[in-house]
A and B are shown apart, each in its own frame.
Chain A
């Protein structure tokens, strides 16, 4: 087990190195550069030269790549954002928790609703819950996430006035942000009013972002439960007179969880795509809006640092998912 983890972690090095080259090449292939994006019409050859010198963009590309690699690995420095002039790592510390908080809330929503829905649908195959689960999964994959976000905003925020429309917290509430996970920050501050405010801001974006995972989780849970239900060991367990509750939990549900764990891992990428759109609708200050803005502004340091960081998290999550198989299913031995 430990050897497996170490080998997978070592494998990260070439993957990240390759990715960093790819991202670097892609960024330089974007038409225009930071100077054009910053100054637009007012760009003069002198001002362009000045900006390029300031950020070392006048050096040959491989010199730039080497310097980027050296500062990132040796100095653990991701550089300075060209637009805000703040360290990229500092912005990352604010943006990343925002997106993770949103993604975790979305995943929670999808699991808490999707797993029981799919499970009950399979147990009552062909019944009303089953029909409902089919409609939910069909709508979930047919509804563009940004349209759902706009709809939710229109109904719950504008028509009913129940929930806030933008941002992570009301401007009037002032608490410390030691972690930048606002839910945790509010708990640390011991401020129930702030906590409620933060949760209210989270609800709509989380539902919008969680809609596709909800559809997928419900469908997979249903299919997995239907499959497992017909296994020989389930019939044996029933035949030897185990109470149905025990068969349901230990034999059926536990084995049905396996494909669900896989799906959760695969959702990480989808959540990132969705986060870009959801964050745009709800003006959520997360990674999605940050990176899209950085593309617009040709903010090279933010793109280099941000994308690489996201990829690192992505690979780590997949490793965790692989490990979780072993925990859920002892039949799988990681080797």
Chain B
């Protein structure tokens, strides 16, 4: 057995009936480590993110969407019309083949299609199935249709972002999508190990709203125990000062600085040239700086605005002060540390050409991940899946195609 070349999830078979981020990212994390992931789509109702910007070179097209591309690398794409009974039959044949089913539809969908866990475990008794959606499979609000933005608002992230003197602007996008897939993957890997030991499958019901609450657990405990409702604080921190996002030279350029102790404060002052104001008693201790934080922030900004974000970060970090460029899209691609990590890997996409994909944020020493295939175009692997995976003959495929099953 060649440990170096081996992938953790080599031979693992996954079927996805998912959209947008959470389901696809879950499948992507399995695909990164060698799982064969079949993503089932339909041309009649394409994944919303195939319609969203950014599009490659700003030219629209269902196969030109960066949003879709990001979360679907390494997967095989199948178009299947699940409105047709034959489509459902093909899906069930995939389940027979599969080890894991991931679905992220509203809770009414799988029952309507006759594809609940109960029904699928009749086909494949040890199947591991996960349903992930906004609010979970049960409860009075389960049928509420929501995007991740609504779940993120409901989970409390929106209220906690922004400056106290203005209405909360909301967190960018669907933040619960960013904090859900990890739990699901951990549970899936646990379930796979459990099945390896016992032969038993299981059903997992995941609510993205509940995941979000865990990421704000301390604020909930604080309310329950201390009756305190956490409020947004801009870029202030309870314990650090100066702490914030400061303007830099250039158009809409910013740097984050977080001075967390006296030693760093002294280093900070030295970096900015020990101006007279830094020796004033009202900035001499943490408590004093906290009392005069508005003024302090203005004075810091007067210095940072003369420098680029990279300059500030480099000077501060060399002196041992936490500081970081507030990175733009371009900055991420130019970041020398991300380059060192090989964070962006370029694959050739059938329609879009060379496309950059994020590497996973963790690296295994013996069984490295591999990004081997760009995200699928719609139905790109129909033939391979139907013939090689499901063993269908040409005639059967042609008949079903004529009935509109592979759309």
A binds B: no
B interface residues (Cβ-Cβ under 8 A, vs A): none
